[in-house]
Amino acid sequence: MRPSDLSFLHRFEPGDGSARPPLLLLHGTGGDEGDLLPLGRMAAPGAALLSPRGQVLEHGQPRFFRRLAEGVFDEADLRRRVEDLAGFVAEARAAYGLPAPVALGFSNGANIAAAMLLLRPDVLAGAALVRAMTPLASPPQARLDGRPVLMLSGAMDPIVPLANADRLAGQLTEAGAWLDRRILPAGHGLGQADVAALSAWFASTAMQGANAA
């Protein structure tokens, strides 16, 4: 399959040939395939970057799945969109010659990455979830077998209550993820503390865990 035939509009930046696993960049609501490329370059220099655009529109703004209200997700749509995204990852791996990627998702992108870990644990080598909340009320029993996962929550996040993020952390831990959970003095937006935490994690934990997977 040629890159132009892939099922998601996306951007791809090849890596430098190092052992770093590729990053699957998943933007937040209203973002696009270019949004997280600078963050990916800073967080994991030299890694290949695969950045799709969400296929759901909410008032003209791209998302990866539907929601019924703020913080209330359409779980049937979410499950279908996880399968669609998993299919795209398989296509991209074949087209670009990539190993399993580590997801780097922000907000809506972090939520679909978390759902993918729980619904399709075979797709990702790990994930960095920035401002994620619990995507599934009753997830299936997944086996993540030590897959590295970083969760960066904001102590002053007006969108994601810490109790909700705690629930997701519990689900991932129960599934066997190698979880690094951090609560930053931040709101919902990305800041320098996130960049520093992501860079350190991708330089050590994510690389070791993904290479061992």
> Per-domain residue ranges for the chain?
3-212
pTM above 0.75, yes or no: yes
In 3D, which of 76, 77, 71, 105 has the Cα closest to residue 89? 105
Residue 69 has pLDDT above 50, yes or no: yes
Query: Looking at the chain, how many residues does it have?
Result: 213
pLDDT of residue 60: 93
Catalytic residues: 107, 157, 188
What is the rounded CA–CA span in Å between residue 19 and residue 202?
12
pLDDT of the residue at 213: 47
pLDDT, mean of residues 30-53: 97
Report CA torsion sign: 134, 45, 182, 184.
negative
Q: Which of 12-21, 35-44, 185-194 has the lowest mean pLDDT?
A: 12-21
pLDDT averaged over every residue in the chain: 93
CA separation for the pair 68, 205 (Å, rounded)? 36
The per-residue pLDDT for 208 is 56
Mean predicted confidence (pLDDT) in 16-43 = 94
Measured between alpha carbons, how far is 168 from 175 in angstroms, rounded to an integer?
Answer: 11
pLDDT band of 5, cuts 50, 70, 90: confident
Residue 91 CB: number of other CB atoms within 10 A? Answer: 17
Right CATH for 3-212 from 3.20.20.70, 3.40.190.10, 3.40.50.1820, 3.40.50.720: 3.40.50.1820
59: exposed, middle or buried (C-beta count within 10 Å: 0-12, 13-18, 19+)? exposed
pLDDT at residue 204 greater than cutoff 90 = no
Structure tokens at 55: 């296929």
The structure tokens 């990866």 sit at 64
